[in-house]
Structure 1
């Protein structure tokens, strides 16, 4: 089958787009507003975009609380969501008023960043402290604003749970990073395999 996205006439019970672009890591974004209000929210439109310098991005459908906060302060954190934190991550996705502290709502330990004025999840196996480099509202093919806001941050500091390190690497079986699939589906990366890049040899 083929369908044009302008009409989205795929004929299926549910839009397959998010299922096609998956799995997607979850950016658990911690931020603080100028008035001191804290926010913790999961974004599945999230990823690393470079290693040197270390940079990440998350994208918000609309100017939500996280975007408001990073616009005001220029910093944020992102905490790694392991399988054991899935249910509490889901609690923080609730559309609550701005002044509600999602850390308290989900029963999570709020830790203060060392290099940025933003909180992160104490129970997470890893967390990144980031400074905002750019906030972009992408335009559509006809040039109109999309209403989505992509926040790009440079990673200034990294927190690692030493109990999750084995043989000099972050132990994926122990961490079991959570990923968003399509619909209401999630997966974790507890089962992994290694594959080396091919060598071009004599070419």
Structure 2
């Protein structure tokens, strides 16, 4: 079958079910007045590694985006199976300036190189300096409803329990959760991990 917005051959749009599972950027940011926001974004990913950059997409100019712009910084905490309910609570539409940390019963932990705190209960966090926000104007023009927020990574936090004796991060042991379509989420099974090397000349070069 083929699906598009005009044909509506399915009762529910399958787009998010196909661009899945998606990592969750659990973004904390401080506004110019010191207001603290924490929100989960499933349109999130790493977009470069030299220098390292991440991006998340906001539907409308929500607090995480505007605070990241005002403060020039944001943090992406790692969303895990153990924290799924708290993560979901932080998506509630609270009044501007009311902290989702308190609402979801989460503690803050100081970051190393940026002012916004990370989620203390999370096993990892990515500290970022805001680079730019790009309005995503659709085909044919018109007003953008989504905005791509890009940040450069300045520091990483990893709970020592998830660093192997070989100095590698055991991502699977953290039990990350990822977003699917509809109301679906996925939990990573640590036993599902496998390794592959690229073909010769394919750019499989280890980075320090």
TM over 0.5: yes
Partner secondary structure for residue 96 of structure 1: coil
Partner secondary structure for residue 47 of structure 1: strand
Matched positions, count? 199
Distance 1:194 1:177, change over 3 A: same
Which residue of structure 2 aligns with residue 179 of structure 1?
Answer: 178
Partner secondary structure for residue 172 of structure 2: helix
Is 1:2–1:10's contact at 8 Å kept on the other side of the alignment? no
| CA shift for structure 1 position 164 | 1.1
| CA shift for structure 1 position 127 | 0.4
TM-score by length of 1: 0.93
Residues 135-167 of structure 1, C-alpha deviations (whole Å, 9 max, x = no match)? 000111112232111100000011110011123
Is 2:44–2:56's contact at 8 Å kept on the other side of the alignment? yes
CA–CA separation in structure 2 for the residues paired with 1:114 and 1:3: 47
Matches within 5 A, 1:138-177: 138-166=136-164, 167-177=166-176
- Tell me the C-alpha RMSD between the 2 structures: 1.5
| CA shift for structure 1 position 10 | 2.3
Structure 1 unaligned regions, length at least 5: none
| CA shift for structure 1 position 11 | 3.0
Is 1:46–1:58's contact at 8 Å kept on the other side of the alignment? yes
Which residue of structure 2 aligns with residue 93 of structure 1?
Answer: 91
CA–CA separation in structure 1 for the residues paired with 2:3 and 2:17: 16
TM-score by length of 2: 0.90
Which residue of structure 1 aligns with residue 200 of structure 2?
Answer: 199
CA–CA separation in structure 1 for the residues paired with 2:132 and 2:97: 25
CA–CA separation in structure 2 for the residues paired with 1:174 and 1:3: 37
CA–CA separation in structure 1 for the residues paired with 2:126 and 2:3: 39
Which residue of structure 2 aligns with residue 76 of structure 1?
Answer: 74
Residues 14-56 of structure 1, C-alpha deviations (whole Å, 9 max, x = no match)? 2101001111100000001111110000000000001110100
Structure 2 unaligned regions, length at least 5: 203-208
CA–CA separation in structure 1 for the residues paired with 2:15 and 2:141: 22
Distance 1:200 1:73, change over 3 A: closer
Structure 1 moving runs of 4+ over 3 Å? none
CA–CA separation in structure 1 for the residues paired with 2:61 and 2:182: 23
Q: Decide which moves more: 154-163 or 102-111.
A: 102-111
CA–CA separation in structure 2 for the residues paired with 1:143 and 1:182: 27
